[in-house]
Amino acid sequence: MKLNNRLYKSKRLTLVTAGFVLALTAAILSFTSDHKENAVSYSKKDSLASQQAFLQVYKVLMSPRCMNCHPSGDIPLQGEYSLLHTQGVKRGPDGKGLYALKCSNCHQAQNTPGLNMPPGNPNWHLPPADMKMVFQGKTPRQLAMQLKDPNQNGHKTLNELIKHVSSDSLVLWGWRPGDGRTKPPLDHATFAKMFREWVQKGAVVPD
């Protein structure tokens, strides 16, 4: 009887230990996966190449298709010359308009057909009031520093920013702006490549 008890306790201890080891292994694998997801590879760090890549990115971010929705004030910009939006439109707390003047009143899920008609996207908006992510008036150095700061870039990691500029539908709209609007100075594939290169070669802030 005593032998059976000892065997039972031994088996139980073995099972508990095995369960602990499996749980610990799963936790380590999960941490490693998350770390890899959020980490930025600096294995090919190249300060000059990183800066040059960002200067290409900067040209796109300063184009009307990007900057018009990243103004320095609370009024969105419009047109090729980034003029203040008409109709008295303002940002609002969530970036989707103030009071009854909501962005979606005019900006529908798709571009309205016709020359210079209201552009559209299902998620048309400015950044929210508590995270304005201003592009207008920023130097390359200032904008690079802002993009690297999670407290100013929408709480994103650099890898999440790469994903954002590569696949976000509102970003992609800039290359499908509708009749009468110019596209950014780089095609989207080149822009995304330059952004990735900036990050992967060190996310260096231009001088």
Domain limits, the chain: 43-200
- In tens, the pLDDT along 136-182 reads 999 999 999 999 999 999 999 999 999 999 999 999 999 999 999 99
Query: By C-alpha distance, which of 193, 199, 183, 200 is closest to 60?
Result: 183
- In tens, the pLDDT along 54-72 reads 999 999 999 999 999 999 9
Amino acid at the residue 162: I
40: pLDDT strictly greater than 60: no
**Residue 123 DSSP class:** T
Give Cα 85 distance to the centre of its chain. 24
